[in-house]
Amino acid sequence: MNGSRIRIVAGLLLAFAMGSVASAELRPYVQVSPRDSRYFELADGRPFIPIGLNVVSVWERSGEREALDRMNGWMKSLADNRGNFIRVWLSSPFWDVEHQRCGEYDAAVAKRIDELFAMAKRHNLYLKLTIEHFREIDPDSRYARQKPWATKPLHHESRGGTATSIDDWFTGEASRNQFRKKLDWYAKRYGSDPIVFGWELWNEVNAVRTSEYLPWTEVMLGELHQRFPNNMVMQSLGSFDRPKNRDQYRAMVTLQGNDLAQVHRYLDLGADLEVCHGPVDVLTADAIRELIAMKPDKPIVLAESGAVEPSHTGPFKLYGEDKAGVILHDVIYAPFFAGAAGTGQCWHWDHYVDKNKLWWHFGRFAKAIEGVDPPAENLQPMTIANPLLRVYLLKGSTTTLVWGRDRENSWKSELADGVEPRELRGVTIDMGPTGSLADATVRVYDPWKDTWRDAQSNGDTVVLPPFKRSIVVKITR
């Protein structure tokens, strides 16, 4: 029995031992690929490319049932468009089992999480589950008054908690033991359930009002591995929007036990890094290349992206103009074609993606990469100079994928300036760096029209059909 099979059997036995019958379903786990550690595959050997977004919570406006139905609707919309992954914050108010007292877990709220698992299995969506997101525990602090959503006073000793401060919470053994008990509670209820893509300790842990998060993370990643031996485990940092983030990211993505290299980055006109002000494909691809340089042998995921008002003061004001989903398209495609293990994962699932009815973009991406096995191909990210397009390329052993993005079209031209995307005709791409096209099959996919067609070629040059905004080329040998 090979290592993957042994892990599957071990996980099923653990699930039974912990009383999680749902965990015993014969569903393959997602794992870092043993064939190519930059990508994922299922435990049965099939490739797995995460296609999805953040759907972290649902707001309980008109009752629990309506909220769950709304969540189910978003999940169904993604699944109907061939998505396979979502991220959920278990610490958000709707899913938070520990909301009354430190160490007490609400059975009624737990049933909501049970239903989340059931919905995910029904729609075949893997779940990345974020355990915490608070940044302060002192109920009397100025921060708590300004940002109650990021404060969890129940952990403060004045409210029956285990710590005198947020530093004490991260360093004190009483708080660490209490957090271990919370992990035990999740493990007992859900085991190493195969529907879980992975367990994420925290949302943007470097935003917590402490400098003690890195040693805590290293310890707790180990605790997660012990309790969920068949699920991946990970940690996240805040938006990579300023130079000082570089050292924080390098320390985190190289940390032992952190299975994924994750990055958050948004279109943000208030960001210190100039790249965050420009075209979305450029800023997202740049984030991936930054992490590749830090840790080239680990799966990299753009785990949060989209567009915000300056310095994250709200959703981007031009979202309402983006009926075509230009921003979402770039968030989905650019990271993967720059070397990420999956699509970029957009934020603002509710009043951008769902409101503008943009779910179809996920299905178009799935069509564009259908049949490609990244771990088998040894894909190498490259760029090709072109006067009209930014050309992103993944060169594989038998398949090469190309994504061309119109240099003159962006969120600024189309949404801010109101310039209609131009139709590009007779555009050519010199594919010389990928090898001869003499015996290759070259096909072109237009993700805006959902059409495939055979491409014309002239020597090592591909002649593209007329298109707007972007185009995908698939070369097989």
Per-residue pLDDT tens for 371-382?
A: 999 999 999 999
- Is the pLDDT at 85 greater than 90, yes or no? yes
Name which of 48, 117, 67 is nearest 88 in CA terms.
117
Residue pair 25/194 in contact by the 8 Å Cβ criterion: yes
- How confident is the model at residue 434, as a pLDDT? 82
CA atoms within 13 A on the CB side of 187: 18
469 token code pair: 């905004």
- How confident is the model at residue 457, as a pLDDT? 84
Q: How many residues in total does the chain contain? A: 477
Query: Where in the chain are the domains?
Result: 3-375, 380-476
- Is the pLDDT at 21 greater than 70, yes or no? no
**CATH for the stretch 3-375:** 3.20.20.80
Confidence of residue 26 (pLDDT cuts 50, 70, 90): low
CA atoms within 13 A on the CB side of 371: 9
Q: What is the pTM of this model?
A: 0.94
Q: If phi over 0 gives left and psi between -120 and 50 gives alpha, with beta otherwise, what is residue 336?
A: alpha
C-alpha distances in Å from residue 287, one per residue of 207, 208, 264, 273, 283: 19, 22, 8, 11, 6
- How confident is the model at residue 369, as a pLDDT? 98
Which backbone phi and psi does 411 adopt, to 5 degrees? Answer: -60, -35
User: Mean per-residue pLDDT for 225-252?
Assistant: 98
Name which of 121, 117, 124, 161 is nearest 139 in CA terms.
161
- Range in 78-92, 143-157, 451-465 with the lowest mean pLDDT: 451-465
Q: What are the pLDDT digits (tens) for 276-312? A: 999 999 999 999 999 999 999 999 999 999 999 999 9
User: Mean per-residue pLDDT for 28-33?
Assistant: 98
Fold match, 3-375 / 380-476: no
C-alpha distances in Å from residue 149, one per residue of 95, 143, 210, 314: 14, 10, 17, 14
Confidence of residue 423 (pLDDT cuts 50, 70, 90): very high
- Is the pLDDT at 150 greater than 50, yes or no? yes
C-alpha distances in Å from residue 57, one per residue of 257, 331, 351, 352: 27, 20, 13, 15
Q: If phi over 0 gives left and psi between -120 and 50 gives alpha, with beta otherwise, what is residue 257?
A: left
Taking every pair of Cα atoms in the chain, the longest distance, rounded to a whole number of angstroms, is 75
d(CA 102, CA 222): 22
- Is the pLDDT at 24 greater than 80, yes or no? no
Name which of 443, 428, 419 is nearest 389 in CA terms.
428
- How confident is the model at residue 19, as a pLDDT? 37
Highest mean pLDDT among 13-17, 170-174, 452-456: 170-174
d(CA 32, CA 41): 6
- Is the pLDDT at 358 greater than 80, yes or no? yes
- How confident is the model at residue 104, as a pLDDT? 98
Identify the CATH assignment for 380-476 out of 2.60.120.620, 3.40.50.970, 2.120.10.10, 2.60.40.1180: 2.60.40.1180
User: Mean per-residue pLDDT for 35-59?
Assistant: 97
Burial letters for 80-111: b for 16+ Cβ neighbours within 10 Å, e otherwise? ebbbbbbbbbbbbebbbbbeeebbebeeebbe
- How confident is the model at residue 25, as a pLDDT? 54
Name which of 296, 297, 295, 291 is nearest 240 in CA terms.
291
User: Mean per-residue pLDDT for 135-145?
Assistant: 96
- How confident is the model at residue 52, as a pLDDT? 98
- Is the pLDDT at 388 greater than 70, yes or no? yes
- Is the pLDDT at 94 greater than 90, yes or no? yes
- How confident is the model at residue 10, as a pLDDT? 44
Residue pair 119/190 in contact by the 8 Å Cβ criterion: no
Confidence of residue 439 (pLDDT cuts 50, 70, 90): confident
